[in-house]
Amino acid sequence: MVEVIATFGETAVLAAVDPVPWARAQMAFTLMFHIILVPLGVSWAFMTLIANYRAVKHSDRDALMLAQRWSKYMAVTFAVGAVTGTVLSFEFGLLWPRFMGQWGAAFGVPFAFEGLFFFTEAIFVAIYIFGWRRLRPWPHFWTGVPVVLAGIGGSVSVVAANAWMNAPSGFTQNAEGTVVAVDPLRVIFNDAMPLQAAHMVVAAYLVGGFLIASVYATGMLRGRTDRYHRLGFLIAFSVAAVATPIQMGVGDSLARWVYNNQPVKFAAIELVPTTSSDVPETLLGRLDDDGTVSGGVPIPGLASWLSDPSTGRSTVVQGLDTVPADDQPTVRQVNIVHLAWDAMVGLGTLLFLLSAWYGISWVFRRRMPASRWFLRAAAASGVLSVICLEAGWIVTEVGRQPWIVYGIMKVEDAVTGNTGVWISFCAVVVLYLAVGITTILVLRGMSRRFRRAGGFTEHDAPYSPSALPEEPSPTREEAVR
């Protein structure tokens, strides 16, 4: 026992000396936590406006109640997302000071626009929520539109910064390597930005829709089959079902961009150790230390064909060995990227099939599927879509290793020299777990209160007077009588 404790202590001391794994772990943990809230911040306002529009246009009381309640949930997730996103911004300077010192002039440009979108979104979220009792129906509806647009703009801005790390451009360096001039438009609209931004925005609507729909599917499985729950499910699931096939098309285009512009990342995705044609698509499997691929289910020629259908199975896919060993991801990183890719594509395909089931039922029966198996699958779709989203970001970030700025700066050259990063990592994990648990408890508490309250009362009905009229004071004659 003493030997085990001593070994653990020695390992901890050695790990604490090297800040790279701890900085990576802290950034990965905070990003994976924050990214769950992003789809809700981007898409929930849009779904709320769909319910709001139906309520005003068709005098739909259930839709009105749904929109009002969703706006209150939305405010909670927006607030938590703002906090966790701010922490991420600080981490760039604290964990990666050499990266920010070298590239901050360019990398910070998209974040300046993200700040503008964030403040716009925050202002109109407040106006929309407080406007339920203070504005007329249609003016109030239109105050929600800037929330939707600002959410999309903020997401695109942040993704533009990440895309710049994959396709750096828009800067001029002097002989010492210092950035002396920046072209903001080229930084924002870099070569990777259009497809990456589209992929993330569509993912936000896909994941947000499935997450919200899964809550109502669970409620319906528990017997809450009233119109209010059905409407909540239909709006959210319909948004996700429309986004899913679009996402598959965008994802396919982005994979081809990676094939053409980041061949080493593509080789990690497809487990291609050496350059060759007729490359199989290997489901699962792993790369061994000796450079061979073991396990999995290979589908002959499919990876080559998907890379460029015009040349089919004869398409040549560059291998990991096309660059020096120091410029390759490690074997462990390759296996992580490949497994994450399989998870993303596999779960995305399952969600597409679920969306197709839903769509076919509407086309031929004019109603959602009545099977409890469909509701069970829909209830699971929220968690599955989040896993799919997380896996996609793992492919993006781990697949770029060992580079933090692709082809220019490596991660080890960007990290802080502080050997005590492990302390901040532990503190952040504890803090974020507390925030996550508190957020879930708050949302569940709100849901229980809403269910107990039932429908609207005269005091909280949207678009009603802010207070009930007071009873007139009795006259002196009436008081005497």
226-267, pLDDT tens digit by residue?
999 999 999 999 999 999 999 999 999 999 999 999 999 999
pLDDT given at position 464: 61
For 134-160, the pLDDT digits (tens) are: 889 999 999 999 999 999 999 999 999
- What is the count of structural domains for the chain? 1
- On the question of pLDDT at 7 being above 60, the answer is no
* Number of alpha carbons in the 13 Å side-chain half-sphere of residue 262: 31
pLDDT at 461: 64
Tell me the pLDDT tens digit for each residue of 164-214: 999 999 999 888 888 889 999 999 999 999 999 999 999 999 999 999 999
pLDDT tens digits, one per residue of 158-167:
999 999 999 9
Q: What is the pTM of this model?
A: 0.89
User: Mean of the pLDDT values across residues 127-138?
Assistant: 90
| 288-335 pLDDT per residue, tens | 988 888 888 989 989 888 888 888 888 899 999 899 989 999 999 999
- Residue 1 in this model has a pLDDT that exceeds 80: no
Q: Are strands 286-287 and 403-405 parallel, antiparallel or unpaired?
A: unpaired
**pLDDT given at position 365:** 87
What pLDDT shows up at residue 470? 45
For residue 12, pLDDT over 60 is answered with no
Q: How many CA atoms lie within 13 A of 299 on its CB side?
A: 9
pLDDT in tens, 395-406: 999 999 999 999
Across 326-347, average pLDDT: 94
In a domain, 291, yes or no: no
Instruction: Let me know if residue 478 belongs to a domain.
Output: no
Is residue 109 in a domain? yes
The whole-number pLDDT of residue 144 equals 94
pLDDT at position 49 over 80:
yes
Q: How confident is the model at residue 6 (pLDDT cuts 50, 70, 90)?
A: very low
Once rounded to an integer, what is the mean pLDDT over residues 4-16?
A: 45
Q: Cβ distance 186 to 170 under 8 Å?
A: yes
Q: What is the pLDDT of residues 74-109, one digit of tens each?
A: 999 998 988 888 888 888 888 999 999 999 899 999
Tell me which residue of 375, 388, 291 sits closest to 331, measured CA to CA.
291
- Domain of residue 220 covers 20-275+318-451
Kindly report the average pLDDT of the chain as a whole number.
Answer: 88
pLDDT score recorded for residue 465 = 55
Residue 14 included in any domain: no
> 3 pLDDT band (50/70/90 cuts)?
very low
Residue 434: pLDDT band by 50, 70, 90 thresholds?
A: very high
- Residue 103 falls within a domain, yes or no? yes
Which pLDDT value is given to residue 468? Answer: 40
Q: Is residue 295 part of a domain?
A: no
Does 51 map to a domain?
Answer: yes
Task: Single out the residue of 34, 91, 42 nearest to residue 240, CA to CA.
Answer: 42
Residue 458 is predicted with a pLDDT of: 47
CA distances for 244 relative to 7, 32, 65, 76, angstroms: 49, 21, 28, 26
Determine the pLDDT at residue 471: 45
* Confidence bin at 473 (pLDDT 50/70/90): very low
User: Does residue 285 lie within any of the structural domains?
Assistant: no
Q: What is the pLDDT of residue 5?
A: 41
The pLDDT of residue 366? 86
SS (H, E, C) the chain: CHHHHHHHHHHHHHHHHCHHHHHHHHHHHHHHHHHHHHHHHHHHHHHHHHHHHHHHHHCCHHHHHHHHHHHHHHHHHHHHHHHHHHHHHHHHHHHCHHHHHHHHHHHHHHHHHHHHHHHHHHHHHHHHHHHHHCCCHHHHHHHCHHHHHHHHHHHHHHHHHHHHHHCCCCEEECCCCCEEEECHHHHHCCCCHHHHHHHHHHHHHHHHHHHHHHHHHHHHHCCCCCHHHHHHHHHHHHHHHHHHHHHHHHHHHHHHHHHHHCHHHHHHHHCCCCCECCCCEEECCEECCCCCEECCEEECCHHHHHHCCCCHHHCCECCHHHCCHHHCCCHHHHHHHHHHHHHHHHHHHHHHHHHHHHHHHHHHHCCCCCCHHHHHHHHHHHHHHHHHHHHHHHHHHHCCCCEEECCCEEHHHCCCCCCCHHHHHHHHHHHHHHHHHHHHHHHHHHHHHHHHHCCCCCCCCCCCCCCCCCCCCCCHHHHHC
Least confident of 335-339, 387-391, 417-421: 417-421
Per-residue pLDDT at 230: 94
Average pLDDT over every residue of 103-120: 91
